[in-house]
Amino acid sequence: MKATREPSGPRTFQVTERGDGQRLDNFLLRELKGVPKGLIYRLVRQGAVRVDGRRAKAHKRLAVGNEVRVPDLDRPEAASSEIPPKVLDRLRRAIIHEDDDVLVLDKPSGLAVHGGSGLAFGIIEAMRQLRPDIELELGHRLDRETSGCLLLAKRRSALQEFHAALREGRVEKRYLALLVGQFAGGQTIECDAPVASGRQEDGRRRMRAGETDSDGPRAREARSVFVPLEAHGAFQLAEVKIGTGRTHQIRVHGQSIGHPVGGDHDYGLPDANRSLRRHGLKRLFLHAQALAYQSADGERHIFSAPLPDELTAVLASLDAGGEDDA
């Protein structure tokens, strides 16, 4: 196999009979010996590898005469997005379920689900590095500071089935949240205010509950059910069930009902957050405890993740009393 090097550094391979019918990923692994497997798969996913000038999936079958163009692998930026080993190890230990179709993580707080907007990488990029021979895709999303059950699909058919379950209401998501203030009478509170994005006075974009102005973005239907579990000082631990998954939905609905989520610096109460910091809270107190869905064949899948130790410690500190709570 003969490769030509263009002046800017990329290489172009001409597919011969040896590569006829071979998958693109296997072709590249054979021709680019010494190049990390994870880097090769990442470049393919990012569209940096072209077949006859077009983006191609890793599973694309090549034919005699195809031209495969690979970017300059000698450039420092080619490996600049390598994931720190400690992050990979953390995610490896966070896997709570894996089969032929899906992989479920107990997502750590503080890690975004995907890179972009100034982030070099996210969980999906890191997991693709851990599973370089699988085309992992996010089944849904969690906020960066939210922990808990996060489903990744290992094959396209599994992703489509999960998304169909979402559309048809066959997915159940349950969260644990520490809310400011106790519920009057210990009653369950339901909030079905639509959620839309809008600009704040500081120019930053935030989500908000309620109808939007005629010139604003369309509000999307959303429903959250807040079920009180335990009182902890001036705060309420609640289970939150959502039938939709709008951006910041629980946080916005918590603000809307007058019980914002503890540790929320966008939609919460500063005084309450300061009080919780004195009890050791260093993050948003929101955890995706359980995820369940029914597949098209009627089989029910249930996954759960326990409340993280750093959050149970906050509850214990609140129960022990001490400084005045919010």
**Residue 232's closest CA among 307, 147, 312?**
312
Task: Provide DSSP, 19-59.
Answer: GTT-BHHHHHHHHSTTS-HHHHHHHHHTT-SEETTEE--TT
Number of Cβ within 10 Å of residue 129's Cβ equals 22
136 DSSP β-pair partners: none
* Active-site residue flag, 20: no
80 DSSP β-pair partners: none
Instruction: Determine which one of 20, 143, 213, 215 is catalytic.
Output: 143
Number of Cβ within 10 Å of residue 35's Cβ equals 16
- Give the Cα separation of 308 and 215 in Å (integer): 42
State whether residue 169 is helix, strand or coil.
coil
Enumerate residues 6+ apart whose C-beta is below 8 A from 160.
none
102 DSSP β-pair partners: 153
Q: Which residues belong to the active site?
A: 143
